[in-house]
Structure 1
Amino acid sequence: MENELSIVIVEEPCLSRNVLVKALGAWGYSCEITEDEDTAWKAALAASAPVLILADWHADFMGCDEFFWRVRSTQALQGVYLLGAVPRGAVGAIRQCISSGADDFVYRPYDLDEVRVRLHLASKIMGLTPGGGVFPD
């Protein structure tokens, strides 16, 4: 099953990112892996499908709050769905992530069931038609 949503991942290379990308492929999502905000920016602008950006909230290489603000301030990217990946137990991270323009958040390290639910809901919110239930039999 091919999904209508294109996912741009902004995260440093790590095992959890590799596991996530493999799962996304198995679920039918196309994704672009980026390791800096400029590459993510270009990927979002170039995408032909509706875009969801999944960004590591505490990445050392970028200010996620500034990046989210930049996306929200750009007319061409108004339809982008922003999903911040926040560390479990990071005090105030969820509030800061959402206040900076994220539509939703997901915890890191990733729980793949949680990620799948968030992506399904994002697709519905964006007006896409995700086929079947969240967890097909």
Structure 2
Amino acid sequence: MKSCLVVDDSKVIRKVARHILETLNFAVAEAEDGRQALTHCESSMPDVILLDWNMPVMSGMEFLRALRGSAAESQPKVVFCTTENDIGHIRAAIAAGADEYVMKPFDRDTLHSKLQIVGLA
């Protein structure tokens, strides 16, 4: 079973994402911010990370740079999931190491499509 870490400061978004991912046969873990996500990745690297942009403590971009700069042997796919929709944000996310980008609000079909693009669905 593939694993996904949902990183979002919104409990509602984490719950919706968990439900969708579980119907796609993913084992799901959650983190409220980038710092919690890094701690999780240090102990158990997921196959894919669904990552929010704007969070307290450590933003999605700060987390992504730390993750991609780490010496971890395996690097997960990262799908940014955010309300930031201008081309500058998308380019910055891809340049920092994101594999794909999905806009909030998202549905099962959209998320499934993005996971297929990164080779995990």
Give me the TM-score of the superposition, normalised by structure 1. Answer: 0.75
Structure 2 gap segments, 5+ residues each? none
Which residue does the alignment assign to 1:68? 64
SS in 2 for 1:59: coil
Structure 2: how far apart are the matches of 1:77 and 1:64? 21
Matches within 5 A, 1:43-58: 43-47=40-44, 50-58=46-54
Q: CA RMSD in A?
A: 2.2
Structure 1: how far apart are the matches of 2:74 and 2:68? 6
Which residue does the alignment assign to 1:30? 27
Match of 1:59 among 55, 58, 66: 55
Match of 2:103 among 81, 104, 107: 107
What percentage of residue pairs aligned between the two structures are identical?
A: 25
CA contact (8 A) 1:106 1:115 kept: yes
Paired residues, number: 121
SS in 2 for 1:123: coil
Structure 1: how far apart are the matches of 2:58 and 2:48? 18
Matches within 5 A, 1:1-137: 3=1, 5-47=2-44, 50-76=46-72, 78-87=74-83, 89-90=85-86, 92-124=88-120, 130=121
| Displacement after TM superposition at 1:8 (Å) | 0.7
| Displacement after TM superposition at 1:17 (Å) | 2.7
| Displacement after TM superposition at 1:113 (Å) | 0.8
Going from structure 1 to structure 2, the CA distance change for 1:29 and 1:65 (only over 3 Å counts) comes to: same
Q: Show CA shifts across 1:27-77 (max 9, x none).
A: 2100111102222112223226x5211110122442222211111111215
Q: Which has more radius of gyration?
A: 1
Going from structure 1 to structure 2, the CA distance change for 1:101 and 1:118 (only over 3 Å counts) comes to: same
